[in-house]
Structure 1
Amino acid sequence: MAPRLPRIVKDLASSATSPVSTVTRLANTPMGNPGSHRPVYGIHLLDRVVNGHRSLEDAVRDKIIVITGGSSGIGLATAERIGSAGGTVVLVARGKEKLDEAADLVRAAGGTAHVHPTDLSDLEAIDALADELLDTYGRVDVLVNNAGRSIRRSIALSYDRFHDFERTMQLNYFAPLRLILKLLPGMRERGDGHVINVSSIGVQTKVPRFGAYIASKAALDTLSDAIQAESHDDGVRFTTVHMPLVRTPMIAPTTLYKRFPTLTPEQAADVLTHAIIYRPRRLGSPIGHIAALADALNPQLVDMVRNRGYHLFPDSKAAKGLGEDRPPEISRTGEAFARVTRGIHW
C-alpha cells in the first residue's frame, strides 16, 4: 500500500483542473513567435544581453558542430535545423546506413553533413573518433553530447542487474567525458568552444525507476560544472539541458508513455538550437526547476510525491522481461498526475 499523503499532494494527483494543474500547463505551454514550439525554458535575459540578438544562421556560420546520436530523434531534428540555417554538422552514431540517411536530410535542408560511424560504448573507438575529427576538420567548435541510453526499471528488479548501471554510465557519462577530454584542449587554446550536454529533467526531479539513468546524467552535469569553473576565462562554455520527456525511439519500449504528454523531437531541437545561439549555462523547464527547489526545501514532501508516482505507474512487462503487448491501463488519477507533472518521466 502507498503511504497516506497530505491533502495538497492528493489534490495535485487527482485534479486535472486544479489551479496547480492550470499553472503547470501554462508553464509548459509553447511560447515565442507563431509556429515556435520552444517551451518556456526560462527567460535567460542575461544570456540574451551578453550574446545580443543573434540568429541560428549567425551562430552556426563557419562552425564545425558535432552531434552524437545524430541519426535519429533529437539529434537528427537538431541537425536538420542547423542544416536549414546553412550550418555544417558532423553526425556520430553506430549505424552507417542510418547516418547516411540523416546526412541526406541535412543536405536537403541546405546544410553540409559528414558522418562518422562510431560505437560510443567502446572507449578506444571514441579516442579514434576524436583524433579523426581533429585530423579531418582541424577543430570542433560545438560538441553536442546527445547520445544516451535510458533504462526504466525499479530497484527491486535490478538487484542482479549491475550491468544496467554499467551500460548507462558508459554511454551517458564516460563516452561524452572521453570526447570532452580529447576536444577541450583545442577549445581552450583557441579561446572559443561550446559543449552542450543533453541531460534530463530526471536529474532535477529524481524520479523512481530511473536510478541508473539519472545517476549517469547527474555525473556529467556536475563534472561539467567543475570544468566550466576551470575553463570559464578560456572562452569555453558548457550548457546543460535538462530535457523533459521527448517522443523518441529511446522511450518506445515503455508503451506507458504513449499516454503521456511529451515534446516532439522538433520541439526538443528548438531547445538545442536556442542553446547554440545563446550559450546559456543551463536550460530546463519550469516544473523541473520547481521540483529541484521543492526538493531542496522539503525533500520529505517531495519523496511522498515521487512515491505516489512510483505506485501509479508500475514496472512495464518489458522491465520484467515479459515483453510488452499493449500500453497498460492508466487510472484517471494517473492521467491527471501525468498532466500535472508534464514532461517528467515516471
Structure 2
Amino acid sequence: MVQRAIVVGTGLIGTSIALALRENGVEVALSDPDPATLDLACELGAGSALDPGSMGTPADIAVIAAPPRVIPAVLRDLQDRGLAHVYTDCASVKDSVVRETTRLGCDLATYVPGHPMGGREKHGPSAARADLFLGRSWALCPTGKADPGAVATVAEVARLCGAEPLTLDAARHDSAVALVSHAPHVTSSAVAARMVGGDETALAMAGQGVRDVTRIAAGDPEMWQEILRHNAAPVADILEAVATDLTATAEALRAGGGSGTETVRDLLERGRHGHDRIPGKRGAQRVPGFASLPVVIPDEPDSLGRLFAAVGAAGVNIEDVRIDHSPGLPVGVAQLYVQPEALTELAEVLADQGWSVHA
C-alpha cells in the first residue's frame, strides 16, 4: 500500500495528484522550485513542504510532475539521495525522457515512466482538482528493467487518483498521444488563431461549437511548445494528414457541386464515425443510440445539482451530459443523454417537478 509519497512539482498535475492521494489517507510531501507555487499548494491542503532531513525512511513513491526536459536530472537527483523506493513521472511524452534517463544512468528498476491522461486548459495549483483523473487512463510505460513491484506501486497511485492504469511501451505511447492529445491541441490553436482577425460582430455571435473546438487552445504556449518538440515526428504525421483532408475539402468547396460534394460529405461522415469511436465513461465505446433530453436550467447556484438529484430520484442514469450556455441570458440548456427507454418517463417526471423540458 502507498502510505507516504513525495510530489515534485506543484502545478496543476502535481497538486491534483497530491490532493487525490491526501483524500485517500496518503501522507504527501511537496517540492517545487517556485516558493510561491509550493506555498499555495500547501495552503490548499495538498501536503506539506518536503524536508529531506526529517523524512527518516524513504517514501513509498516519488512523483515527478515537471517539464520533460528536467525530469531525467530530477530523477537522478532524487535517486542519488534515496528519497523514495519507487519513482515515476507525469510527462506527456515518454520516449525522449526514457532515453535521457538511460543516458544519465538512472536506476530503471525503480523508475516507471507514467502519464495521467487528465488536464485542463488552466494551469497552476489554483486550478488543481482531486478528481482531475477520475475515470481517465493513466499510461504506464515501464522499461524492460522495471521491477514488477515498482510497476504495481505506480499502478496503485493511479487507482488512488481514480484512474485506470494502462500499460504500453514508450514509443507506442507517444504515437497514441500524438493522435488523441498533441495534434488536436495544435488544430484547436489553428482554429482559435482565426479569431484574432475576427471583427467584434462575428465574435459576438460565437456559440458553444466554437467554444468547444477552441477550449484547449487556452493552454500555456510555452509548455505546449516543449511537448511538441519532444514528440515532433508523430505529431507532424497527424497534422499532415489533417492538412490533406482540409486542403481537399477547401478545393471541393471552391469547385462547387459534383464530385466536390462527395469529398465534403466523406470528411463529415468520417468525422462523425471517428467521434463515435472515442470511448465514453468506463472506457466503453461511445454509443450513438443514447436519447437526448434538453432541460432549461437557470444560471444560479445549485441548479445543476438539483437537476441531477431529480434525475437520480427518478431512478435514471445519466450516460453523458452537455451544458449549452445562452450568451446574455440568465439560463442555459442541459442536454441529458439517457437510455432511450427512459426518455419519456424522465421527461414527464421532470416536467411535473417544474423543470422546463423539451423532449
Higher strand share: 2
- Taking structure 2 as the reference length, what is the TM-score of the superposition? 0.39
Greater Rg over alpha carbons, structure: 2
Task: Name the structure, 1 or 2, with higher relative contact order (CA <8 Å, separation 6+).
Answer: 1
